[in-house]
Amino acid sequence: MRKKEMIAMLLAGGQGSRLGVLTAKVAKPAVAFGGKYRIIDFPLSNCINSGIDTVGVLTQYQPLRLNTHIGIGIPWDLDRNFGGVTILPPYEKSSNSEWYTGTANAIYQNLDYMETFNPEYVLILSGDHIYKMDYEVMLDYHKENHADVTIAAMPVPKEEASRFGIVVTDNEGKISEFQEKPPEPKSNLASMGIYIFTWKVLKEALIALENVPGCDFGKHIIPYCHEKTGRLFAYEYNGYWKDVGTLGSYWEANMELIDIIPEFNLYEEYWKIYTNSGILPPQYISGQAVVDRSIIGNGSEVYGEVHNCVVGSGVTIEEGTVIRDSIIMKDVRIGKGCVIDKSIIAENCVVGDNVTFGIGSDVPNKLKPAIYSFGLVTVGENSVIPDGVQVGKNTAISGLTAREDYPGGILESGETLIKAGGRV
């Protein structure tokens, strides 16, 4: 029987609701990152760079963008005769059909898919982190230890440890205890949500816990394996790893890319990140334009000023416009004479002429203060912003907005403006 030593299962079904309007219409793994990439490109590229050529991508929430992005996997060389990338949405069964109710439940519902490859090991990944990691090294570690489960973990500052799932290990890396967001952490090793399971162990656990509602790796499967066998190991990872789950961390991770020598360097020849970007012409910087400390995607045209920005591909920035400290995603069009400060403008938006973003004081968002903070202006994809309006901090805008939606031409700090429609 043909077999694969290790296959990867990539959990990409989550909404990522803390990204607010950015994930209103797309799953979080499909959100753009770093000018030309999408978040899912990082784990997918890590897979192929680690020699894993069989990846199941589990989708559920708003999968259209993910499906078109991944296609048959050509950009990652994951178009294979045996293996390759497969999109795995929830499906109807002869009895007991259900959505994916939890991370482990989603994997459980695809036991048949995994069986096809008769694997020795299964790698569980999530599609919402930015990092470069060689899973093959982690697998070697797993084999060396004759482990049942290996959990990738990274050291975090002691004071932040209480925000994470913490693993406590002995000297050999064997896990003795788990603490979920502990007030007084016993260790500073935080779980990264990356697991290697010995297939038999995973299968047994999934079947044993098949009736647990919302079966989850962190809450159910890992504790079950821990109680049962005890051969759980932590694989310490010390490279760059960034959770981009909140607008603030998403913005920050993008901004880190424009440092002269960024900690996370996309320009290294070794360990390339692949994406489905299509074939795009070079970018044009006009005679009046000023561009510094920024990265700009292919096919963009800049006539205005761009400082400290991450600009996607196919973007047009008209003359007289000044953009600072912002993320502009692909195909956005920004009119003349605008001043855009500290904003995230999602794909395919149109911003009219003489628009000002980021004025006023840092008032918390009235509707969702936990989401729209960090002083950012966040604009959802396909939104239309009329000419001449001003927008304050900690605001969110989505949809086809008109002048009337801005009282006195101003959207005050802390307001949220969600409308229907948008640019086609």
Partner 1 sequence: MRAVGIILAGGNSPKMRELTQRRAIAAMPVAGSYRAIDFALSNMSNSHIQKVAVLTQYNARSLNEHLNSSKWWDFGRKQGGLYVFTPTITADNGYWYRGTADAIYQNLDFLKKCHEPYVIITSGDAVYKMDYNKVLEYHIEKKADVTVVCKRRNPNDDASRFGILKMDETMRIEEFEEKPMLASSDMISTGIYIIRRRLLIDLIEHCAEEERHDFVTDILIRYKKLKRMYVYEIKDYWSNISTVEAYYETNMDFLKPEVRNYFFKEDPEVYSKVSDLPPAKYNPGSIVKNSLVASGSIINGTVENSVLFKKTFVGNNCVIKNSVILNDVYLGDNTYIENCIVESRDTIRANTRHVGANGVKVVVEKNERYAL
Q: Which of 57, 296, 344, 397 binds partner 1 (CB under 8 A)?
A: 296
* 289 near partner 1, rule: CB under 8 A: yes
Under 8 Å between Cβ of 88 and 11: no
Nearer to partner 1, 98 or 259 (CB): 259
Nearer to partner 1, 79 or 353 (CB): 79
* 81 near partner 1, rule: CB under 8 A: no
Structure tokens at 192: 């990264």
Q: Which of 86, 105, 109, 275 binds partner 1 (CB under 8 A)?
A: 275
Segment near partner 1 (CB under 8 A); pick from 12-20, 81-89, 288-296, 413-421: 288-296
Q: Which of 23, 277, 343, 398 binds partner 1 (CB under 8 A)?
A: 277
Nearer to partner 1, 420 or 424 (CB): 424
Query: Torsions phi, psi of 351, nearest 5?
Result: -110, 125
CB of 269 to partner 1, least distance (A): 10
Q: Which of 51, 155, 281, 421 binds partner 1 (CB under 8 A)?
A: 281
Residue 375: name the closest of 393, 391, 397 by CA: 393
* 78 near partner 1, rule: CB under 8 A: no
Nearer to partner 1, 35 or 386 (CB): 35
Strand, coil or helix: 357: strand
- Site map 300..319 versus partner 1, x via CB under 8 A: ------x----xxx------
* 254 near partner 1, rule: CB under 8 A: no
Chain-centroid distance, C-alpha 117: 27
Residue 20: name the closest of 397, 322, 375, 356 by CA: 397
What is the end-to-end Cα distance of the chain in Å, rounded? Answer: 49
How far from 76 is each of 43, 123, 145, 241, 392, CA to CA, in Å?
A: 11, 18, 31, 21, 41
CB of 29 to partner 1, least distance (A): 19
How far from 151 is each of 100, 115, 142, 226, 329, CA to CA, in Å?
A: 23, 22, 9, 12, 34
DSSP 44-109: HHHHHHTT--EEEEE--SS-HHHHHHHTTSGGGT---SSSEEEEE-----SS------SHHHHHHT
* 408 near partner 1, rule: CB under 8 A: no
Nearer to partner 1, 278 or 421 (CB): 278
Under 8 Å between Cβ of 50 and 135: yes
Strands 241-243, 189-198: pairing kind? unpaired
- Site map 31..70 versus partner 1, x via CB under 8 A: ---xxx----------------------------------
Segment near partner 1 (CB under 8 A); pick from 50-58, 150-158, 217-225, 291-299: 291-299
Q: Determine which helix (DSSP H) or strand (DSSP E) holds 207, and give its type and residue range.
A: helix 199-208
* 298 near partner 1, rule: CB under 8 A: yes
CB of 401 to partner 1, least distance (A): 26
Number of shown-chain residues binding partner 1 (CB under 8 A): 39
Nearer to partner 1, 266 or 410 (CB): 266
* 286 near partner 1, rule: CB under 8 A: yes
Gyration radius of the chain's alpha carbons: 23
The site for partner 1 (CB under 8 A) is made up of 34-36, 74-75, 258, 260, 266-267, 272-275, 277-287, 289-299, 306, 311-313
